[in-house]
Amino acid sequence: MTYHHGNLRSALLDRAATVIAEEGIEALSLRALARDLGVSHAAPGRHFKDRADLLAALAAEGHRRMTAALNTAATAAGDDPVARYNALGREVIAFSLRHPAYFQVTQHPEVERHSDPSLMAARQAFGDTVRAAAAAAQAVGWRPDEDLEALQLFSTAAALGAASVLMRQSKFAGRPTAELLAIAGRVIDLVIPPSLEALRQES
């Protein structure tokens, strides 16, 4: 045996991501992963306590990347806090469409219940980013009467739900990404005005 894979941990995470993208989370097996990488069936155990632990690590990575994507999208959106929060919503959907494996793993109930510390930290960082943007939009007049954290949680859930619909519903299957993103934009606009100006015109 050649032994010595070197970076088995990241190789496992990579392979897991592609397996999940192709066949879904249920099809993921530690032993199959080990076989795919030409390594013994117990080798994954050195890096991940169990299957849930691997999924948690993958989900943490997904949250970190989503957070990073949101930050660049926010700065690209300019100064208007309402437009920024709207852009965040769109980016949640765009990122999900770009990275279906991360979407699946972060949204999977089995993983959501899991309380790995590094996963919880990544989740919290993601929530903090969204909450800060929601607070800025609220500060300039968007939904001033609602509880901030509730606004954050429910708008995030709505955006992720929309992403799920766009990925799973046959109505949208096979449509080009650009079209899906356009639809995503309209959906986000239902909840968050596209700009401060639009918000002021509403009422």
* Shortest Å distance, C-beta 50 to DNA: 3
**Nearer to a second copy among residue 33 and residue 111 (C-beta):** 111
| C-beta pairs of 180-188 under 8 Å, 24+ apart in sequence | 180/97, 181/90, 181/93, 181/94, 181/97, 184/90, 184/93, 184/94, 184/97, 185/90, 187/93, 187/162, 188/86, 188/89, 188/90, 188/93, 188/159, 188/162
Among 22, 23, 50, 146, binds DNA (CB under 7 A): 50
CA distance 152 to 173: 29
42 binds, among DNA, a second copy, none (CB under 5 to 8 A by kind): DNA
Among 13, 21, 52, 120, binds DNA (CB under 7 A): 52
164 binds, among a second copy, DNA, none (CB under 5 to 8 A by kind): a second copy
Q: Does 1 bind DNA (CB under 7 A)?
A: yes
**Phi, psi (degrees; rounded to nearest 5) at 19:** -60, -45
* Shortest Å distance, C-beta 164 to DNA: 25
Among 23, 31, 146, 149, binds DNA (CB under 7 A): 31
* Shortest Å distance, C-beta 12 to DNA: 9
